[in-house]
Amino acid sequence: MEGTSMFSIWMTLSVVVYLLAIGYLGYCGYKSTAGATDFLLAGRRTHPYVMAMSYGATFISTSAIVGFGGAAGVFGMGLLWLTVLNIFCGIFLAFVFFGGRTRRMGLRLDAHTFPELLGRRFQSRFIQGGAAVLIFVFMPLYASAVLIGAAKYLSQQLHIPYEVALFIFSALITLYVVMGGMKGVMYSDALQGTIMLIGMTVLIVLTYWHMGGVSEAHAKLTAMADMVPVKLQQGGHRGWTAMPAFGSPLWWTLVSTIVMGVGIGVLAQPQLAVRYMTVKGQRELNRAVAVGGVFILMMTGVAFVVGALTNVYFQETMGKIAIAAAGGDVEAIIPMYVKGRMPEWFSVLFMLTLLSAAMSTISSQIHAMGTSAGRDFYEQALGHGAKKGGRGGAMASRVGVVVGVLVSVYLGYYLEKTMGKAGVEIVARGTSIFFGLCACAFLPMYVGGLWTRSITKAAAIAGMLSGALASFLWMLLIHDTTAKALLFCKAVFGRTSLAVGEGGPLSFGPFVWAYVDPLIIGLPLAIVVTVVVSLFTKKLDESHLELCMGVRPPRR
């Protein structure tokens, strides 16, 4: 009893010290924020280590550790393909190819946000306002997913109600984002990313040590293939060290929703793309590649490997696989494993790791929501712009931050109460949905705007609307999991999904339509629409294109 009491004291003290440090960094950001450029882009002179850690810590949240780690307990190590895609697309392509062009164009156009960059590139207030609305409407779903993962873990560790943990956590993040803007967010991200790196390194080392080494642990997991439940086998599951059967429902969910949805969607994430504009030049972006690559490898790779290996631990201690031991709650797998298998002192470190992961991501999300509502929609799209460079330019964004938080907290409460007990992977799926939607709506015109002069204003608008609409309708009517959760299809057509008939999910060849992610439909459609409309509509003025992309080199 005395040991437990002392442990609780140490845990409480650790959290207090951590929050004081975050509060101090938020105050430093507040003191050094003199205008809109500081609040929105941290003055455009961020150190490469701070930028890389902020980018990585924003990218990786409780979604990766608790949500996707728990999903790995169900799907197995096939999720490691997401790690590969995250490093290749989310770090290498993003920093080396997208980052430099985004930074240069943002500077030439004096753009401070991702929607503002797109709007000014195509000379369209509609694009800026439309992108802002999409972000502000759909990002709360992603933010609420992260809030759920963090609040559930905090409530378990500190023995407080879920609602209390949700409220306290949200209030603290709102405070330092409203105070410090992007500088406060990025300073805090750098500290939080460092804590996350330490925590996940210790987690993988202790996991392999407890299971007898790397080879022994993986051999045990492979030998458990015959323990896969019948329902999962029917869905295509072939064991936790093998990919699901090609074309099966689980294969489509894993590959199209989780791996491709997040792995490709990362390139069009507003809260990540804006970080390219916070550094001085391409040299800083190149220097950040190694730091970012190692960080993503240790965050996602460790979470997915440990998530899959929890099946070994629960089978040896409880005679059950992970999802059964967690009572069907996917997001409970990792917290239960840490609490049951890891030493007490690690619980403190892991709690700080999750706090850091959640706070770094949510702070960037609500900063993006606030700037979208305030800067992009209210000031720019509606024309209520504040005086350039003044502190007033950040006021609308601060109001937007508060509104975005309130919506996200409500969703975090509602989704957990209505779906959390049903075994639905809220955290992983909420993240995947937002990443995929951003790819469908923004990626074609973003890529076209950076690399070609041929994309027209009309084509950019058509591509954004067609991609977003196709993705949303597929979620609403076809994709089984999201359609079932949103209830619209059930209310209108009396079926959970139009792709599910009386005999089960409808299929055509390897395509099981109810499990095909909206990304697979929306992104190709948006690309085709953007290209075709560009062929028949008026090109942008050459002088504007030279401002955006530089003078066209002379033909030889």
Adjacent-strand bridge partners of 500: 505
Range list of β-strands (E), 382-433: none
Q: Which residues of 320-352 are buried (b: 16+ CB within 10 A; e: fewer)?
A: ebbbebbeebbbbbbbbbbbebbeeebbbbbbb
Secondary element (H or E) of residue 348:
helix 344-371
Q: How many CB atoms lie within 10 A of CB 200?
A: 26
Rounded to 10 degrees, the C-alpha dihedral 328/329/332/337 comes to 10
Query: CATH number of the domain that 263 lies in?
Result: 1.20.1730.10
Neighbours of 171 (CB within 10 A): 11
Other CB atoms within a 10 A radius of the CB of residue 246 amount to 10
Q: Is residue 391 part of a domain?
A: no
The reply to whether 496 falls in a domain is no
DSSP β-ladder status, 504-505 and 507-508: unpaired
Check the CA dihedral 478-483-484-490 and report its sign: negative
**pLDDT tens digits for range 358-408:** 777 777 777 788 778 777 887 777 776 654 444 445 677 777 777 877 888
Q: What is the CA radius of gyration of the chain?
A: 23
Quote the crossing angle between the two packed helices 344-371 and 162-210, to the nearest 10°: 130
CB 132 within 8 A of CB 377: yes
Say if CB 346 and CB 338 are below 8 A apart: yes
Say which DSSP state 275 is in: G
Which pLDDT score, from 0 to 100, does residue 212 have?
92
pLDDT for res 17 = 80
Three-state SS at 479 = coil
Q: Does any domain span residue 488?
A: no
pLDDT value, residue 35:
56
Q: Are 267 and 93 a contacting pair, CB within 8 Å?
A: yes
H helix or E strand, kind and range, residue 442: helix 426-451
Of the candidates 246, 261, 295, the residue with the CA atom closest to the CA atom of residue 52: 295
Angle between helices 282-296 and 100-108 (to 10 degrees): 140
* Paired strand residues for 504: 501
114: tokens are: 């991702």
Q: Is residue 421 part of a domain?
A: yes
The answer to whether the beta carbons of residues 505 and 514 sit under 8 Å apart is yes
Residue 508 three-state SS: strand
Q: How many residues does the chain have?
A: 556
| pTM, to two decimals | 0.81
Number of domains comprising the chain: 1
Distances (CA, A) of 156 to 151, 152, 196, 485: 9, 6, 19, 26
Q: Which two tokens stand for residue 187?
A: 């300073």
Tell me whether residue 396 is in a domain. Answer: no
Give the SS3 label for residue 425. Answer: coil
Grouping H, G, I as helix, E, B as strand and the rest as coil, residue 225 is helix
Residue 176 located in a structural domain:
yes
- Helix-then-strand count for the chain, H and E: 27, 4
> Do 356 and 57 meet the contact criterion of CB atoms below 8 Å apart?
yes
Q: Is residue 514 part of a domain?
A: no
Indicate left, alpha or beta for 36 from its phi (over 0: left) and psi (-120 to 50: alpha): alpha
Distance CA 80, CA 451 (A): 31
Per-residue model confidence (pLDDT) at position 58:
74
* CB-neighbour burial class of residue 388 (10 A; exposed 0-12, middle 13-18, buried 19+): exposed
Domain assignment present for residue 292? The answer is: yes
Inter-residue contact 331 to 149 (CB < 8 Å)? yes
Cα–Cα distance between 117 and 460 in angstroms, integer? 13
d(CA 403, CA 369): 9
Contact (Cβ atoms closer than 8 angstroms) between residue 413 and residue 163 = yes
Range of the domain at 210: 46-386+403-441
pLDDT of 190 reads: 78
pLDDT in tens, the chain (556 residues): 455 566 566 666 777 787 777 777 766 666 665 555 555 555 556 777 777 777 777 777 776 787 788 889 999 999 999 999 989 988 888 888 898 899 889 889 988 888 999 999 999 999 999 998 888 888 887 777 777 767 776 777 677 788 888 888 777 777 766 665 566 667 777 788 888 889 999 999 999 999 999 999 999 999 999 999 998 998 899 999 999 998 888 898 888 888 887 788 888 888 888 878 777 777 777 878 888 888 889 989 999 999 999 999 999 999 999 999 988 888 789 988 998 888 888 878 888 887 777 777 777 777 788 778 777 887 777 776 654 444 445 677 777 777 877 888 887 777 666 655 444 455 556 666 778 888 999 999 999 999 999 999 999 999 999 999 999 999 889 888 778 777 788 888 888 888 877 666 766 666 678 888 888 899 999 999 999 999 999 999 999 999 998 766 555 5
